[in-house]
Structure formats: C-alpha cells, structure tokens
Amino acid sequence: MPELPISESAVAAALPVAPAPAPFADVLSPRPPWAAPLARSPIAAVEPVTVMVGWQVSAVRATSTELTLTDCTPMAKVALAARRAKVCGVRFGRAARDPAGTLVVGSGPGEWLLIGPPGQAPALATGLEALIGPDAAQDGATWVDLTHGRALIRLTGRRTVDVLARLSAIELSDELVPDGAALRTAVAAVATDVIRDDTGGIRSYLLHCERSVGQYLFDAVLRAGAEFGIEIDGLRLPGPA
C-alpha cells in the first residue's frame, strides 16, 4: 500500500509543545531560594530560642539573680595588636569601657580585646584608628574579627568565686583580682581569658576561650555551680552606655 503524504501542519500538531522560556529577569532574580544565614554559637541554645541580630540565642530567663550563666558568644569581639603600652588608657591585665560602652581588655603585652554589642564588629574595627591614631598601619597595628571564632560566657552572682575555685587555682579575691582586672589562665583545663566585669554592683566574670571548647567550658561551669543553684539566663542586648 502506498504511503500517504503527511503535511507539515500535522507533524507540528503531533509534537509536544515546550513551555515558553522564563523571562530573563526571573532567571536572575535577586531573591535567593534559601533563608537568610543564621549564626549559631558553639554552645547549644536552651529552649525557647529567638534570633538576635542574626544570631540564634536562648530566650530563657533565670528565676533568680543569685547565680547565673549566660552565653555571650554573639557579642562582637575584635583582637588588636599594636606597639603601644596602652589603648584607651587600658594596660595589660586591666579592662575598662570606652565612652561608647565598648569593653577594652588588655589581654596580653601589646594585645587588646574589644568586646561590643552583637553585630558591631565592623564598627569596632573602623573605630580602631581613632583609638590608636592615624599612623596605626605604620605603627604595625593589626586587628582581626574574632566574633565567630571564639566563645564567650558570663558568670554572675554572689557565689561566682566559689564556682571558679572548683575549676581554677587562681586566687580571685578583691585584693588580687578587683573589678576591671583581666588575666589568662586555665579554667577547667581550658586556656581562658578571665575578665572581671561587675554589673550593677554584682560580681561578674567574662570567660573567653576558643570556639571548639566553648560547649565544654559552659557545661563545666554549670556542673561546678549546680550545688549553688546556678541558672542559665539568655543573652540580653546591652543597654545604652
């Protein structure tokens, strides 16, 4: 039997119709298909949790202020090395706040640690030239943002010395380590910057360590303080300076 001729229109009708290509503007949409990045501390946040300046933090509130432990890792942390005896009048082994409320810590000979509100590390770095002068680069000054690379916890209350005495051999009396003192020692066998930074007249210590041991140090302080009724208190944004 002879084959019947097939028209071009019949062939076109039999083929599947491909969808029209998306407009070029839709292909290059500026809106990402994923959620905004969320920073997390190495210390597990206790439920309930919330988001503070892009960080996931615990929103739990202690029922007492007698003895509390707070994960302060989201606080901005900038390390500075410079050939100066003092920065903002702060020498090695001391800590003080500048007029903006930034805590300036003399963490080592020619080394300082600046601690500020969450999300303010770029502002701290920008303000360093004002702290050490316009010849900072020629003076060999260098700085680096340590916010995500370090853990920071705060221990506050009347029994803080009793807790730390179980984890460290350092004598923390007012005569030897007054408010505004800073030292580097071993706490629970972890190299730690210990900064006394009393709040509202209540004894308080900041413990600053490597990120990788942050959870370990936090848990060690919790265990040491269990006998004294220690409670976890979620991070709060600092008030105006």
Average pLDDT for 124-134: 72
Domain with CATH 3.30.70.1400 in the chain: 75-146
Ranges of CATH 3.30.1360.120 domains, the chain: 40-74+149-233
Superfamily of the domain at 75-146:
Aminomethyltransferase beta-barrel domains (3.30.70.1400)
Predicted confidence (pLDDT) at residue 199 exceeds the cutoff of 60:
yes
Q: Pick from 239, 88, 241, 65: which is nearest to 154 by CA?
A: 65
Helix, strand, coil percentages (3-state) for the chain, rounded to 5, are 20, 30, 50
Please give the CATH topology (third level) of the domain spanning 40-74+149-233. Answer: Gyrase A; domain 2 (3.30.1360)
pLDDT in tens, 37-57: 789 999 999 999 999 999 999
Residues 6+ positions from 222 with CB-CB distance below 8 Å: 69, 230, 232
pTM confidence score: 0.82
Does residue 84 surpass a pLDDT of 50?
A: yes
Q: Which residue did the predictor score with more confidence, 182 or 37?
A: 182
